[in-house]
Structure 1
Amino acid sequence: MHVLQRVEESIAPFFFSLHDLDYLLILVAAEALGLPLVPPYLGLSEKERQEIRTGINYGSGSAGILPETGTILGPNLSLDTQLKLFTETVQKYLSNTFKGPNELSDHFSKSIFYINIGSNDFIYTYLNEPDLSNPRYKPTVLSNDLTERLSQNLQALYMLGARKFVVANLGLIGCIPYIVNRRKPKGVCVEELNQFVEVYNSKLIELLKGQSSTLPGSTFVTLKSYELSTLMASEESMTQGPVVLMLAMDPCHAPPT
């Protein structure tokens, strides 16, 4: 989760692989708007946290919506933990930085809350090809669990003052080099995993529509990572146009199994 506080002043950094093509979109948007990068929350000193008036990056590379996601690689900040850190920021630091609740609310009204999370939940769930006859591994069950938890977090952010949300859907995780090398699909990608992601993305659309109608004054925008990555991964896009893309299928890093 990244809080881009005061849109005209700051933007959060993003550290994703090139398979997360929304990374490119964010950088282009930042450059177009003239927004500087903002620091990761855990990298700020106590003094810096007390004086912060720009956006903050709460993101954690291996984390997911589920608390246990990615912990095989070591401790991380799940979405619940990121929300707790933002709550701490509001109550402990920003409440002293601004003159009162009205000024803080006005500040948040000019802020964008960018949320890009969920891919790791699918990656680590299906990495070792679990038994899909087990209900807990059915994509509809996982998608329902993830969107329900995400909904709770979005509502909590709203209660803290968030009003403008940009939420990324999930990209082509079945085309991630490590997964392709591990699964050895007949085609270029593991299409089964991409189909699982489509189930989640459909539920995400329903979720965001529901949030818009039930949370007064809120705005939800979907960053279409899946559609963009599908377009960019097409043969025509990779071989034509001003930029020629090359897909490297050798993973630079692989999680332990």
Structure 2
Amino acid sequence: MVFTVRTHEVVALFLVVRISLLPSALSTAPQVPCFFIFGDSIVDNGNNNRLKTTTKVNYPPYAELLGFKSAIPPFATAKGREIIKGVNYASGSAGIRNETGKQLGQRISMNEQLLHHNVTVSRIARLLGNTPSRKDHLCKCLYYMVVGSNDYINNYFKPEYYSTSKKYSTKEYAAVLTREYSQQLKKLYYLGARKVAVTGLSGIGCTPGELARGTNGSLCVDAINNAVVLFNDKLQALIKSLNNHLPDAQFIYVPSLELSEHIPVPG
């Protein structure tokens, strides 16, 4: 179920994005000029391959769903003019918090992914030649954010490695995470992003790794899923605030938990 549950995040994302942001969804041409991907293992397509980590993943080229004829390259190997159509920065076991996933080995946190995007923006500026062209190009791109699951299953609910559950209640931790995520999303905006799809967390308390720890008779680990609901509520409020306060911002919240509850799961 781990792949079924988390794949729902991708399915839900593209259903919502294609409806909400891409009016030419039936066109065979790319519906956005460029596509930048940030997140964790669900969208990592090669960035972890050269790292010392147990989480090396290479997922299919979801960009084809948006009309691109080839995959968006991972930052680790992206070069030349191919970066103009987009870059994938995602890293398995990465989180909003820098320390998240450290017990699994090397990973590229969201803060590091944004530093990598800053490098890409500078390269695009050199390729396109002037600031107006760069800004015009970047504001038309689609940005996809899928992160936060590891901040729970590979941080808060791993007290043998992390102290966050001792420092914060689940309500406090949701607030801490969304404050940090807010700063990251603003950084992305100030680097030129305008159309940003931000996924909420799915029912990660129903994944095999968490079920193996015991559910006290429930179908899933309720403590984890209840914490996810708190985070998603905070995230929705954050998205609304960003749209209200940042000129021309088009942040969209993608409710993967709510949508995944209505997608049949094979037995």
TM-score range for the pair, normalised by the shorter chain length: 0.7 to 0.9
DSSP 3-state at the match of 1:59: coil
Please report how far the alpha carbon of residue 131 of structure 1 lies from its aligned counterpart in structure 2 after TM superposition.
11
Which of the numbers 160, 178, 189 marks the counterpart of 1:158?
189
Spell out the pairing of 1:99-248 with structure 2 (5 A cutoff).
99-124=129-154, 125-128=156-159, 136-232=167-263, 238=264, 245-247=265-267
TM-score by length of 1: 0.77
The one-letter code sitting in structure 2 at the alignment partner of 1:101 is T
Q: Is the Cα–Cα contact under 8 Å of residues 12 and 256 in structure 2 kept in the other structure?
A: no
Q: Percent identity?
A: 34
Please report how far the alpha carbon of residue 17 of structure 1 lies from its aligned counterpart in structure 2 after TM superposition.
2.8
In the TM superposition, what whole-angstrom CA distance separates every residue of 1:13-65 from its partner, at most 9, and x where no partner exists? Answer: xxx93321122345675555423421110123xxx246521111000010000
Please report how far the alpha carbon of residue 128 of structure 1 lies from its aligned counterpart in structure 2 after TM superposition.
4.8
Is residue 2:4 matched to residue 1:24? Answer: no
Instruction: Give the count of matched residue pairs.
Output: 217
The one-letter code sitting in structure 2 at the alignment partner of 1:79 is M
Q: Is the Cα–Cα contact under 8 Å of residues 215 and 222 in structure 2 kept in the other structure?
A: no
* 1:250 paired residue number: none
The one-letter code sitting in structure 2 at the alignment partner of 1:203 is K
Aligned-partner Cα distance in 2 for 1:132–1:70: 13
Aligned-partner Cα distance in 2 for 1:71–1:217: 37
In the TM superposition, what whole-angstrom CA distance separates every residue of 1:148-173 from its partner, at most 9, and x where no partner exists? Answer: 11111111111111111100000001
The one-letter code sitting in structure 2 at the alignment partner of 1:246 is P
Please report how far the alpha carbon of residue 176 of structure 1 lies from its aligned counterpart in structure 2 after TM superposition.
0.7
Aligned-partner Cα distance in 1 for 2:173–2:86: 31
Is residue 2:67 matched to residue 1:34? Answer: yes
Q: Is the Cα–Cα contact under 8 Å of residues 167 and 222 in structure 1 kept in the other structure?
A: yes
Relative distance call for 1:88 and 1:32 in structure 2 (3 A) is: closer
Relative distance call for 1:221 and 1:195 in structure 2 (3 A) is: same
Spell out the pairing of 1:2-21 with structure 2 (5 A cutoff).
17-20=3-6, 21=8
Relative distance call for 1:135 and 1:55 in structure 2 (3 A) is: same
Structure 1: gaps (5+ residues): 1-15, 233-237, 239-244, 248-257
Q: Is the Cα–Cα contact under 8 Å of residues 130 and 137 in structure 1 kept in the other structure?
A: no
Please report how far the alpha carbon of residue 95 of structure 1 lies from its aligned counterpart in structure 2 after TM superposition.
1.4
Aligned-partner Cα distance in 2 for 1:197–1:51: 36
Which of the numbers 83, 87, 93 marks the counterpart of 1:52?
83
Q: Is the Cα–Cα contact under 8 Å of residues 73 and 86 in structure 2 kept in the other structure?
A: yes
* 1:75 paired residue number: 106
DSSP 3-state at the match of 2:85: coil
Q: Is the Cα–Cα contact under 8 Å of residues 147 and 203 in structure 1 kept in the other structure?
A: yes
Relative distance call for 1:187 and 1:160 in structure 2 (3 A) is: same
Q: Is the Cα–Cα contact under 8 Å of residues 127 and 179 in structure 1 kept in the other structure?
A: no
Please identify the structure whose Cα radius of gyration is greater: 1
The one-letter code sitting in structure 2 at the alignment partner of 1:24 is V
Q: Is the Cα–Cα contact under 8 Å of residues 199 and 255 in structure 2 kept in the other structure?
A: yes
TM-score by length of 2: 0.74
DSSP 3-state at the match of 1:18: helix
Please report how far the alpha carbon of residue 188 of structure 1 lies from its aligned counterpart in structure 2 after TM superposition.
1.3
